[in-house]
Each structure stands twice: as C-alpha cells, then as structure tokens.
Chains A and B, each alone.
Chain A
Amino acid sequence: AQSVTQLGSHVSVSEGALVLLRCNYSSSVPPYLFWYVQYPNQGLQLLLKYTSAATLVKGINGFEAEFKKSETSFHLTKPSAHMSDAAEYFCAVSRVSGSARQLTFGSGTQLTVLP
C-alpha cells in the first residue's frame, strides 16, 4: 500500500529564507510523486511531479524537489521565500487500486512567511 507522511503540519520562515517542506512516502512499486499548493478556499494547483525521469524536479514559482529512493523522501524546497508563498502544501503519491491509479495525499503543511 502507498502512503505519504508530511513532517510538520505548520512551518514558519522569514521572507528571503530557505523553504524546506518534508515528505516521506511508502510505496511497494516505483512511485509517482506530486506536490500541490492550496490557497485559502481554493482548489489545489500542481507545483511539480516526479514520474521516474530526473530525480531533481523543478516546478513553478521557483520550487523544486528531489526524489531520494534510499531515503524514501521527496522534500520540497525553495531558496528564498516570498510572502506570496504562504499557503498549504500537499505531497501525494500515486497508488494502484484495482485497474486504476489514484492519489494518496499527506495531511498537508501550512507555510507561514514572516516579514
């Protein structure tokens, strides 16, 4: 079975500081991994995805994530936080159920950016 653990339900950083949001996964097959961002009362927007190509994945808004199989991790980073990055972030792994794949989401990390 596939599962996702996001360490830290709340993370605060100062504007301009490094953003690091942690995600560890469990998967019995090679995983497809995703990071989504959600602003208040809105749907989810894809930041980036890993689908077994390059292990370092670059996404939108300056975010990137590195797939580390040995550590079963897919942490999200951004070198310099901006006020507009304040949002909730979800890591997800694609899982197989019957003949279809669905996404299993982590519980989310709320990012606060301090001025």
Chain B
Amino acid sequence: DGGITQSPKYLFRKEGQNVTLSCEQNLNHDAMYWYRQDPGQGLRLIYYSQIVNDFQKGDIAEGYSVSREKKESFPLTVTSAQKNPTAFYLCASSPEDRGRNEQFFGPGTRLTVL
C-alpha cells in the first residue's frame, strides 16, 4: 500500500537533547512538508522540500533542521535550540507544489520534552 509513515509514534526527550523524527513516503511525490500542531492553533509549517537536496524554511523553522537526500525521505531534527518542542508533528507529501493537489499526511509523531 502506498502512503506516508512516521516514526516513532511517541517520543520522549530530555531537555537539551536533539531528536530526529522520521518521515518516509512511497507515493513518488516530489514535495514534502513538516508541520507542527499545537492545541487550538491549527498546523504551522516548519520546513518544506520541492526536490531532492533542496528545502526551504516555513513559518516556524527556528530550532529545527531537515535534510532531503532521497526522494522518499524527509527527516526532521528538533534541536536543543527549540524552546518549546512538545507538540504533535505531522509530515505530508504532495505530487506537485503548485497547490492544486492536496497534501497527504502521515499519522504523526507526538514529542514530549521531560
């Protein structure tokens, strides 16, 4: 089955640690996205990538980093510089980036900082 997988589903981190969230898709989509979701605030874009080896900052990129070495994979690293990292993180992909097509979402990773 084609789709987007995110791992782990739940992640606990101590303050000061970097953690990496995995996102893999087998939909052959060019564009991939990372969102952060907080209660009552909808989804906010962290980073996006239109093609391999290229990515751009979204609205809230500070304290995060990404890589896009393969078309299928778009991992997100939450660094210790992110002041309030506890949130639900969603990865998405889209067949093209001109906005006509919808984005397909993974099941999410819930990150909790202890």
Q: Is the CB of A94 within 8 A of B99?
A: yes
* Residues B58 and A43 in contact, CB atoms below 8 Å apart: no
Of B4, B48, B103, B107, the residue contacting A42 (CB under 8 A) is: B107
A interface list, Cβ under 8 A from B:
9, 32, 34, 36, 41-46, 49, 51, 90, 94-103, 105-108
Q: How far is the CA of A39 from the CA of B85 in the complex (A)?
A: 22
- Which 7 pairs across A and B sit closest by C-beta, in order of nearness? A101-B99, A94-B99, A43-B105, A105-B42, A100-B97, A44-B105, A107-B42
Known: A9-B40, A101-B98. Is A45-B50 also a contact (CB below 8 A)? no
The secondary-structure label for the interface of chain B is: strand
A-B contact count (CB 8 A): 65
The reply to whether B108 and A42 form a contact with Cβ atoms under 8 Å apart is: yes
Contacts of A46 in B (CB 8 A): 102, 104
Q: How many residues of B contact A (CB 8 A)?
A: 29
Q: Using Cβ atoms and an 8 Å threshold, which residues of chain A touch B106?
A: 43
Separation of A7 and B102 alpha carbons in the complex (Å): 23
